[in-house]
Amino acid sequence: MIRELCVAAAITGAALATAAGAAADDNMYFDEPGRYPTDVPGMSYEAHQGAPCFSWERNVFGRGPGGEPLQCRWIPNQWPPVTTGFWTHAYPLHGVQEIGSPCPGPQAAAQSPDGRPMLCLGARGWQPGVLTGNGFFPS
């Protein structure tokens, strides 16, 4: 009698454990990023944070799996030396802008008409270059 009760309890437990997994969404699908109105020409829609990239001078922007803006950056003086850049987080994109034109405020990124990355530098407007731990470096 006890054996039958234990077997019945084990079968019931297995059925309940399996049912919860079968009802859940597997969430293993590719989340293709959408196109945003602020996207720029030459943008990569297959970028992933920390993955290698090869265009760190022009057309450097991409979108990650969740649609977050990423930028291909070359990391100077890295050891061991590598021949690629890496996808890193970028400020929110504001499309293609003219150099020196007014910008919305700090922590904003854009692309120049010739494909260079630009940052908003307050009163100076959009300026081509990158921001590092040592400050702004014009390109």
CB 133 within 8 A of CB 78: no
Identify the pLDDT of residue 58: 92
**Percentage of the chain surpassing pLDDT 70?**
78
For 70-95, write each residue's pLDDT tens digit: 999 988 777 777 888 999 999 999 99
Identify the pLDDT of residue 43: 92
* Rounded-to-integer distance, Cα 92 and Cα 102, Å: 16
* Rounded-to-integer distance, Cα 132 and Cα 73, Å: 10
For 91-136, write each residue's pLDDT tens digit: 999 999 999 999 998 889 999 999 999 999 999 999 999 887 778 8
CB 119 within 8 A of CB 130: yes
Q: Is the pTM of this model over 0.75?
A: no
Rounded to an integer, the average pLDDT of 5-9 is 67
Q: What is the CA radius of gyration of the chain?
A: 24
Q: Which residue has the higher pLDDT, 133 or 24?
A: 133
CB 96 within 8 A of CB 85: no
Identify the pLDDT of residue 30: 54
| Run of H or E residues at 11 | helix 2-23
**Which is it for strands 61-63 and 85-89: parallel, antiparallel or unpaired?**
unpaired
How far, rounded to the nearest angstrom, does the alpha carbon of residue 129 sit from its chain's CA centroid?
19
Tell me the backbone φ, ψ of residue 22, rounded to 5 degrees: -70, -30
| Run of H or E residues at 93 | strand 93-96
Closest CA to 62 of 49, 76, 75, 74: 49
Q: Is residue 51 scored above 80 in pLDDT?
A: yes
